[in-house]
Amino acid sequence: MPSAQASTSDAQDAQASPAPVKPDVTTASGRPVTRTARLSAIEHALTTHVVTSQAQLAQLLRADGFEVTQATLSRDLDEMNAVKMRMPDGSTAYAINETGFDVTMPNGYDDARAKAQMAKVLVGLVTSVARAFNQVVVHTNSGAAQYVGSIIDRNSSDDVLGTIAGDDTILLICTDAASAQSIAQWLLSLT
């Protein structure tokens, strides 16, 4: 009989202990805590605030629910082509290099360099790619399409006329079918 009491007691203990709590996977602003969401939050902070230091940026991200280390923040800023720009008052602040390539590059646009920079950011975000005539449909992780679309817009050559992005799907409109085929193959290499 003692063994029956032990099993009853064990069963009661198991019922009394609460189930493990899942960690919160959204920030205070309701954004998911993902790399894509963090990069989007950084982009938003840099476009809506004058950010003069990484410490200030980390504080803005913390207020939005993102805890980041200085090393992660440096890596993210590098991947996003964020640079320190001189302001009219002489101070410096972070800004996203809209052209996606070094503005001092002697011959302007460098397709290989732009693709290398985009690949660092886009790897793991693109899940599938399909092409039809001069259009490319890109599927991404949930919530990443607008971020990926903005990266493509900022870094693309003249072969991409523009992008339209939803939640997890992007439509790229290219100048012709050959350009669409080349871009689709490159994007497929990132999946």
101 in any annotated domain: no
For position 151, which CATH number holds? 3.30.1360.40
Classify 87 as helix, strand or coil: coil
Q: Do residue 119 and residue 85 come from a single domain?
A: no
Position 174 scores a pLDDT of 94
Work out the pLDDT band at 173, boundaries 50, 70, 90: very high
Q: Do residue 86 and residue 122 come from a single domain?
A: no
Region 162-180: mean pLDDT is 93
102 in any annotated domain: no
Question: What is the domain extent for residue 43?
Answer: 35-96
Q: 41 near 31, Cβ under 8 Å?
A: yes
106 in any annotated domain: no
110 in any annotated domain: no
Give tens-digit pLDDT for 30-80.
555 688 888 888 888 888 888 889 999 999 999 988 888 888 898 888 888
137 in any annotated domain: yes
Position 101 scores a pLDDT of 39
Number of domains in the chain: 2
Q: 32 near 143, Cβ under 8 Å?
A: yes
Judged against a pLDDT cut of 90, whether residue 28 lies above it is answered with no
For position 77, which CATH number holds? 1.10.10.10
Does pTM surpass 0.85? Answer: no
User: Higher pLDDT residue, 134 or 23?
Assistant: 134
Q: How far apart are CA 154 and CA 145, in angstroms?
A: 14
Give tens-digit pLDDT for 86-144.
777 777 888 876 544 333 333 444 567 777 777 777 777 889 999 999 999 999 888 88
54 in any annotated domain: yes
Judged against a pLDDT cut of 70, whether residue 16 lies above it is answered with no
